Amino acid sequence: MNDKAFADATLLSGGRQASDAIVTMKSVVKRFKDFEALKGIDFAVGRQEVVVIIGPSGSGKSTLIRCINRLEQHDEGSIVVDGTELTNDIRNIQEIRKETGMVFQSFNLFPHLTVLTNVAIGPRQVRNLPKVEAERIARELLERVKIPEQADKFPAQLSGGQQQRVAIARALAMKPKVMLFDEPTSALDPEMINEVLDAIKELANEGMTMVVVTHEMGFAREVADRVIFMADGEIVEVGTPEQIFDSPKEERTKKFLSQIL
Amino acid sequence: MKKWLRENLFRSYLDGVVTLVSAALAIWILTQLWNFVFVTGRWEIIQVNLKLLLVGRFPEESMWLVGLSMISLAFFIGLAAGSLRSTGLKSRKVTEIAIDVTRRFGLLLLLAAAIIYLAGTLDALLAGLQVFAALAVGRLLGGLKTTITWLKPIPKALWLALWALLPIASIGFTLSVASLEEWGGFLINFYIAIVSIVLCFPLGILLALGRRSSFPVVRLLSTTYIELIRGAPLFVLLLLAGVALEFFIPPEIAPDVIFRSVTVFTLFTGAYLAEIIRGGLQSIPKGQTEAGKALGLSTVKIIYLITLPQALRNVIPAQIGQFISLFKDTTLAGAALSVFEVLNIGKAITKQDDFLGQGMIYESLAFVALLFWVGSFVMSRESQRLEKKLGVGVR
């Protein structure tokens, strides 16, 4: 990656300095056996910034955000989240995981626990809050994602859209400083996509810092402060939604956008 | 009726033939069985030796202890069953309850009735009624909402410890009044099975986790243990326990045969259970662990809050199957270690002066088989119910 691209990738929106970043990645490399999934990623997310990552499948988008909370271990480079560097030290990892919430493509709710317990489990078991307090937080969040009446059901009794909103509430219950969304609508039936996107938009409007991997271009345009286009394990182009969607500079970006739009 | 017959039993000529042949076979078996049970069978051998078969030479004056332990066990089982119904007591018609109880425990009640009839004493009837009453009271108490709130402050770990201690304590208690030579019969099969089940369960969990551990030493040890035990016949292990210990421990202080059988059954079933539980753990999608990690849960909490509960529930049928086979295998302790258990007694009584050379082995074996069959059947049926109950909201 040339110097210009590096500067682009780490420059925060609104002309803020990199020191204002909550997540910083420097020359991060991730390999799966012989395959290089991330080829030296430089990347930063500012506080209250919404970064949307797009790109063809297999381009390393998911791997990138899974490195931020150590679901994947990077092989080279450094990752710093909220001033804590990700090392092999389990305490650092736990510290960072407490500060980052993640929403998965396949929801990954705990099927043996009620919706309420699913949401309360973080505050109760990680933050060690009393049960009453944890459940109060959980009910509040279920209210916020507009499904308070489902609290006592089990995940399997809910629709996909409702499940994903529970998953969002579960991540929020930890009061994270950054939310990571890994293709949150890809496993949903079309008619349920909007209810989830609306919940995420609302979060963005409230000033939550977010990194979103998605294929929903309309959503990306609407909600993103910055859009990052990735291909083959590299960041190819970075810019405001207008720059990326209306006047992409790189050939690969143009080709990708012409294929999906 | 005619339509049903045609659609289900006589759809084609071949179907018709199969139906008729099976019907004839079934009728023949049933008449033979009826004949044996009510006509040719001479059940006085069971009647005379009933107490011996059930509790061995347990001292008469301490029989109340057996009753007490049965009653307390029934009470706790009832309490557990009741509190599993988190909805509390539903008002149901008496007839509905009666039908439900008959459907689930009819066989057990029938067996109990047969035994009481054979015993022919008022004491036996009273004991039976007391056990049943304890079960019912436990069930009612467990189902009450107020009881649940009252019991809630007691931590789960304490409950588990209590569960584990109950059978072990009652064994120790029983041993303090009846010596080993006096104690035997079906009671000993029952106790060996219960204690081994309680002990092998945590062992199985630890071994399963050990085999999946990221520490090579733990993994190697667990794997070696599991494969070694699973490679040896249970009977050989029991025989070994009978002789091998003498190499290490002087005979005067060597543990008794019951202790040895419990040890072997625990170690043996633990290895099988470990593989069953490991299978259950493997069936849990990776996303579950990842979601736990992403929340910041520690590895230990991910296991005991998320993966293990799901894994254990997924393999309930296989686990119960293992427990049922452990229950039946307790008869091997009689042959291998001369434990005075029910099959041993069943064989021995046919050699009594009154019954020698009269071919009484059929009656005797049939009775022993019936005891195990009813026990296993109830376990299997109840496990299916448990599975349904815990399966709420799953897919």
pLDDT of residue B150: 61
Note whether B293 contacts A: Cβ–Cβ < 8 A: yes
The reply to whether residue B393 touches residue A98, judged by beta carbons under 8 angstroms, is no
Query: What confidence tens digit (pLDDT) does each residue in B314-326 have?
Result: 898 899 999 999 9
Q: A122 and B293: CB-CB below 8 Å?
A: no
Helices (H), chain B: 2-8, 13-34, 44-55, 63-84, 94-119, 122-143, 145-151, 156-177, 186-212, 216-230, 234-243, 245-248, 257-282, 286-295, 299-301, 308-314, 316-329, 332-337, 342-349, 361-390
Please state at what angle helix B186-212 crosses helix B361-390, rounded to 10 degrees. Answer: 40
Q: Does B301 touch chain A (CB under 8 A)?
A: yes
- Tell me which chain A residues have a C-beta less than 8 angstroms from the C-beta of B295: 97, 121-122, 126, 170-171, 174
Touching check for B391 and chain A: CB below 8 Å? Answer: no
pLDDT of residue A1: 41
Q: What is the predicted pLDDT for the residue at B390?
A: 73
What pLDDT is attached to residue B385? 80
Positive/negative CA dihedral, B370, B373, B379, B382? negative
CATH match of B44-57+179-395 with 3.40.50.620:
no
DSSP one-letter code for B38? I
Q: H-type helices in chain A, by residue range?
A: 3-10, 61-68, 90-99, 115-125, 131-144, 160-172, 190-205, 217-223, 241-246, 251-260
Q: Is the pLDDT of residue B83 over 80?
A: no
Which residues of chain A neighbour B309 with C-beta distances below 8 Å?
112
Report d(CA B379, CA A168) in Å as an integer: 42
- Tell me what pLDDT residue B252 has: 66
Q: What is the pLDDT of residue A221?
A: 93
Q: How much is the mean pLDDT over chain B?
A: 84
What is the bridge-based pairing of β-strands A178-182 and A100-103? parallel
Cβ proximity of A11 and A226 under 8 Å: no
Return the pLDDT at B173: 66
**Which among B285, B287, B294 is the nearest to A97, CB-wise?**
B294
Site of tokens 């394990």? A233
* Cross-chain Cβ contact B293/A111 below 8 Å: no
- pLDDT for A142 equals 96
Task: Please tell me the predicted confidence (pLDDT) of residue B206.
Answer: 95
Report the alpha-carbon distance of residue B199 to residue B2 in Å, rounded.
55
Query: Strand pairing partners for B270?
Result: none
Contacts of A156 in chain B (CB under 8 A): 393-395
| Pairwise CA distance, residues B381 & B324, whole Å | 12
Q: Of A116-120, B190-194, B231-235, which range is least confident?
A: B190-194
**What b/e readout covers B72-103, taking b as 16+ CB neighbours within 10 angstroms?**
ebbbbbbbebbbeeeeeeeeeeeeeeeeebee
Q: Do A126 and B296 touch (CB under 8 A)?
A: yes
State residue B77's pLDDT score. Answer: 77
How many whole angstroms separate alpha carbon A196 and alpha carbon A181? 11
pLDDT band, residue B241 (cuts 50/70/90): confident
Rg (CA), chain A: 18
Report the residue from A125, A153, A157 with minimal CB separation from B305.
Answer: A125
The residue behind tokens 């990194």 is: A211
How long, in residues, is chain B? 395
Question: How many Å lie between the alpha carbon of A122 and the closest alpha carbon of chain B?
Answer: 6
Predicted TM-score of the model (pTM): 0.84
pLDDT digits (tens, 9 = 90+) for A111-149: 999 999 999 999 999 999 999 999 999 999 999 999 999
Select from A98, A122, A153 the Cβ nearest to the Cβ of B393.
Answer: A153
Kindly determine whether residue A109 and residue B291, on different chains, have CB atoms separated by under 8 Å: yes
Q: Which of A106, A110, A122 lies closest to B296 in CB terms?
A: A122
Q: What is the pLDDT of residue B159?
A: 66
Q: What is the pLDDT of residue B64?
A: 78
Q: Give the residue with greater pLDDT, B120 vs B305.
A: B305
From chain A, pick out residues whose CB is under 8 angstroms from the CB of B306.
110
| Placement of tokens 């919940």 in the chain | A199
Greater pLDDT, B211 or B359: B211
Q: What is the pLDDT of residue A170?
A: 97
**A69 interaction partners in chain B (CB closer than 8 Å):** 293-294
- Residue A37 main-chain phi, psi, to 5 deg: -85, -35
The closest CB to that of A125, out of B291, B297, B394, belongs to B297
User: Mutate which of B289, B295, B308 to disrupt the A interface (most A C-beta within 10 Å)?
Assistant: B295
pLDDT (0 to 100) of residue A3: 47
User: Which one of B290, B295, B309 has the shortest CB-CB distance to A174?
Assistant: B295
**Residue B155 pLDDT > 70, yes or no?**
no
What is the rounded CA–CA span in Å between residue A22 and residue B211?
A: 39
Q: B42-67 burial string, b = 16+ CB within 10 Å, else e?
A: ebebbeebbbbbbbbbbeeeebebbb
- If one compares B360 and A99, the residue with the highest pLDDT of the two is A99
C-beta atoms of B393 and A154 within 8 A: yes
What is residue A182's predicted lDDT score, i.e. its pLDDT? 96
Q: What confidence tens digit (pLDDT) does each residue in B273-302 have?
A: 999 999 999 999 999 999 999 999 999 999
Query: pLDDT-derived band of residue B393, with 50, 70 and 90 as boundaries?
Result: very low
Judged by CB atoms closer than 8 Å, whether chains meet at A110 and B313 is answered as no
CB A141 within 8 A of CB A179: no
Query: Are the Cβ atoms of B293 and A98 closer than 8 angstroms?
Result: no
Q: What residue spans define the domains of chain B?
A: 1-40, 44-57+179-395, 59-177
More confident residue, B395 or A94: A94
Q: Is B394 on the interface with A (CB under 8 A)?
A: yes
CA B224 to CA B218: how far, in whole Å? 10
Ranges of chain A with pLDDT below 70 = 1-19, 261
Distance from CA of A1 to the nearest CA of B (A): 30
Cβ distance of A174 and B393 shorter than 8 Å: no
- What pairs with residue B129 in β-bridges? none
A256 neighbors A81 (Cβ within 8 angstroms): no
- So what's the pLDDT on residue B108? 85
Give the alpha-carbon dihedral of B216, B221, B227, B228, to 10 degrees. Answer: 150
Instruction: Please list, in sequence order, all residues whose beta carbon lies within 8 angstroms of the beta carbon of residue A109, skipping any fewer than 6 positions away.
Output: A115, A118, A155, A163, A166, A167, A170, B291
Q: Which DSSP string corresponds to B318-353?
A: HHHHHHHHHHHHTTHHHHHH---BHHHHHHHHTTST
Distance between CA B137 and CA B125 in Å, rounded?
A: 18
Q: Which chain B residues touch A101 with a CB distance below 8 Å?
A: 294
